[in-house]
Each structure stands twice: as structure tokens, then as C-alpha cells.
Chains A and B, each alone.
Chain A
Amino acid sequence: MSDCLSEDGINQEEAEDDVLTPAKLISKLEEAWLNEKFSPELLENRSEMVECVMEQLTHMESNLQRVKAGDAMASVHRMEVDRIRFVLSSYLRSRLQKIEKFFPHVLEKEKSRADGQPSLLSPEEFAFAKEYYANTESYLKTVALKRMPANLQTVDMLKAVPEPCLDSFVFLRVKERQENIFVEPETDDQREYVVDLEEGSQHLMRYRTIAPLVSSGAVQLI
């Protein structure tokens, strides 16, 4: 597995396509944070990005340990590390909240994805989701279900837990120009129409139509 950043955090000339400078990595983290915060469904897992950010943070923290107290630069680095850590924690927290909210659907999606497709959950998140499912099941059983008549003792989790509403409205900013985005009418007497999304413009529309653009990075949720 290739490291996406070199030892001292400075970008070196490498032949690989996915070499990122630390600055770009942090801005990608912030974009992923905002997208995850505002999207109604759980977005694709970005564990390489999370790992790279953790690497940068632990590297910087170990440097800070070695430096003597009172160094002018140390507090600046520490502030930056705190800021990045906040964004990373908030990102992971958003994901966990969504996993807890939609756990049967998330697990179902993960189970039914093809081998080539990127996964929705990191291994730790997958373990968390499975445990949460098992705990909820046993909780329901212990508290109520075992006292029900025998033929009513199962709960179909997929039906019991509401699925994410992909028709929610979201605010977005366009990063790459898109043409002919379909806008469905709200009422029966309106006609459906298409809009072109210009680069740099901001819009308010349904999540469902632009969901693939969020995963590809063509739009940013704000």
C-alpha cells in the first residue's frame, strides 16, 4: 500500500498520480466534512484520506513533543493540529450518527455492493454497525418482543427503521460545470425542466438529482 505523503510532509516528485500535498489533503478533508454534514445519506468511505490525515497529525505531534517549551513556533503548530483534529473528529462523528440512524439500510447496502465498488464503511465502522444492529435486536427482544405472541416476535429492521430521505433539499456550490441537470416539478401542474450548473454558482435543489455529482466531487454541499 503506498503512502500518499512522504516522510517530512513535503511533496516530492513521484510518478504516482495520487500524490497529494498536505495542504490539498487538508482541504479535501474539509470538503468531505462539509459533504458528510449536509448530505441526507451516508457517503462513501474515505479511509485512505483519514489515515493520511492521522499520519500527518501524529507526525506533527511527535515533533512537538521533542521541542522545548516556550518555542514560538510550537504553539502555532499546536493550534493548527487542534483545528485539523476538530474537523476530522466532526467528520467521523457525522458518519457515526448516520450509521446509527440508518443502520439496517447501511448494512444492507454494504452487503449488496459488488466487489469492485468502493465500500461505504471502513472496517471499524462496519464492526460498529453490526454490533449496533445486534444490540438493538437483543434490546428489543429483551424489553418487549419475547413477551409477544410467538408469531409476532420478529421485527423487520429494514422496514422498522426509516430510510434516508434522498429527496431532501440541499444547498450546493458547483465546482465543475454541469449541463442538463433534471429538475423535477413539485406540483402536478408544473413542468419538469433542466438547468445548467455554472462553475462557482450556488444552488438549492433536491439531493437525489445531484447525489452522483457529490460523490464525484463536481459539486460541494454547503
Chain B
Amino acid sequence: MDPSEVEFLAEKEFVKIIPNFSLNMIHLIGGDLGPFNPGLPVDVPVWLALNLKQRQKCRIIPPDWMDVEKLEEMRELERRENAFTPVPSPYYMELTKLLLNHASDNIPKADEIRTLVKDIWDTRIAKLRLSADSFISQQEAHAQLDNLTLMEINTVREFLLDSLNCMYKLRSNLQPGSRKGQFTDH
């Protein structure tokens, strides 16, 4: 899966905005939004929030977890624990990138937040690399990865799944007995 497709899925998450225009309820195929009144907060999907922000029709309110102290706590927790800690949002990386790129004027201490999220990401990816390595070397057949986000899974997906499939092919060719047909090369 392309990272931009993961971002596409992340854009469906809801975020609060404060519009500066007024509009009745919109009936989208995916649900109803609004009504929009200037100065009153309303929940919209990120793709719409970014579009409105670019047209200077709204102000974006950062989500609750996008706060320096909370992120610092999360970073410390992530560094202390060996396992993956629960994330603030299943799309924390994409939302941080999108909101900070397009609406950094609406988000206090944007640079610090960017660094903190990057630190959390780096720690988690390092843990992921280690656990993927041990998964392959111990030839496990199953792993539970509850707190991993889609973007993190996607980073290792191709390489990990390809290597596991290659190893399976090598192993099954050692065993006697034939399978009908051959396996595809991915």
C-alpha cells in the first residue's frame, strides 16, 4: 500500500474547525455535516478541513492529544516500555504531518510537536524493526500487534511479508510430497 493511500484513510478522521462562513447542513453520501455558523466549532473530516483552511474559510483546532506535555509523557512511556504503547490516534503520524503542514498557525508550539511526534515515531519504528527481526529468526507463525498503526505496519509490510513468503517457499521445497501447481513470485 502506498503511504499516500494510508494518508487517504487518515483524512477520514474527524477534526474540529471554526468556520468563518455560514451554511446549512450538507448531506454528503458519507453522512451529514454542519450546519456551519461563524465562530461555532463543528466536526468535519480532515480532507474537508484542509480544503476549507486552504480557501481561508476556517480555523482548525488541534486534537486533544496534540499538546506538548501529553506528547512528552507519551514519548517517555514509549521509551521506557519494550512493548508498543497505545497511540493517541490510529493515524497520529499522518494527522500531525497534514495539520502541521497546512495549519501550523492554528497550532501552538508546532515545531516542538513535530519533533515530539517524530521521536515517538522513531522509537516505535526501532521497536518494530527489532520485533520483525526476532519474528523471522525464531520462525514464528503468529504475532499480535495491537497498538501498531497502519502507517507503521505499512513501512515494513512489503519487506516483511515478502521475506516470510520466500522463507516459506524455501522450507516447503525441502519437504517431500508435491503440491499442485507452483507458487507465485511476488
Contact = CB atoms under 8 A, between A and B. Distances in A.
B100 interface: no
Contacts of B150: 222
B49 to A, nearest CB: 11
Contact of A80 (B23, B30, B172): B30
Contacts of B171: 186-187
Nearest to A170: B161
B184 interface: yes
B165 A190 contact: no
Q: Interface of chain B, helix or strand or loop or mixed? A: mixed
B127 to A, nearest CB: 15
Contacts, number: 115
Contacts of A86: 8
Contacts of A187: 139, 171
Interface string A171-186: 1000000000001111
Nearest to A189: B139
Contact of B184 (A37, A164, A206): A164
B165 A169 contact: yes
A204 B28 contact: no
A77 B28 contact: yes
B149 to A, nearest CB: 10
Interface string B153-186: 1000100110011001001100000001111111
Contact of B141 (A10, A76, A190): A190
Nearest to B57: A72
A76 B26 contact: yes
A81 B26 CA distance: 14
Given A9-B27, A75-B51, A168-B186, 11 more contacts: A10-B27, A22-B29, A23-B30, A40-B184, A76-B28, A77-B26, A79-B47, A163-B184, A169-B164, A183-B141, A187-B171
Interface of B: 1, 5, 8-9, 21, 23, 26-31, 47-48, 51, 135, 139-146, 148, 150, 153, 157, 160-161, 164-165, 168, 171-172, 180-186
